[in-house]
Homo-oligomer: A and B are copies of this chain.
Amino acid sequence: MSDPAPDPAAPPAAFQRHDHGRCVASARASVEAACAERGLRLTPARARVLEILLDSHEALGAYDVLERLRAGGHAAQPPVAYRALDFLVANGFAHRIEKLNAFVACAHPDEGAETAHAPAFMICRGCRRVAETSAGPAAASVADAARDLGFEVERTVVEIEGVCPDCQARPSE
């Protein structure tokens, strides 16, 4: 590795190397705060699943999560994982990556759950890591076009499949 652009002052960490311990801790704190504020119960199972998702920036399938739960001594069945994931997704603490049938922790858990921050996901097919960015005005314009056709928009999914900088640099690419 020739140390590719260590860390410009870019605010939202993505594929670039970062202090993952901090990244996890701050996300966890945000979720805890949001739960307290909104009267949501971050139960042990949910907290554990959140931690599992936060531990990597990879998208994890429900059964990957389940496996890790079990590795932690929790004799869980599939619904346990799905229920925790549903909770996290419903409240904006995690996102479902449709293309992968998998889940990632949200990069901005403090932003509104209902307040629809329109995310877009970059999915690396090399390492399965997923970076979240804002679809912003682009998503809005597509949504507007849909509304012009009389379609009532509820949610939009934007997923970009490709290869992340690290995997481009790697031999196997």
Residues of A within 8 A of B (CB): 1, 4-5, 14-15, 98-99, 101, 120, 122, 124-125, 131, 133, 135, 137-139, 141-143, 145-146, 149-165, 168
Contacts and interface: CB of A to CB of B under 8 A. Distances in A.
Q: Tell me the interface secondary structure of chain A in the complex.
A: mixed
B158 A163 contact: no
Nearest 5 CB-CB pairings of A with B:
A150-B165, A138-B138, A98-B98, A152-B163, A157-B159
A57 B120 CA distance: 27
A80 to B, nearest CB: 23
B157 A162 contact: no
A160 B151 contact: yes
Contacts of A153: 160-162
A151 B157 CA distance: 19
Contacts of A164: 150-152
15 contacts: A1-B150, A4-B150, A5-B150, A122-B146, A122-B149, A131-B151, A135-B142, A138-B141, A143-B160, A152-B163, A152-B168, A153-B162, A155-B162, A156-B159, A157-B158
A158 B151 CA distance: 15
Given A154-B161, A160-B155, A149 B98 contact: no
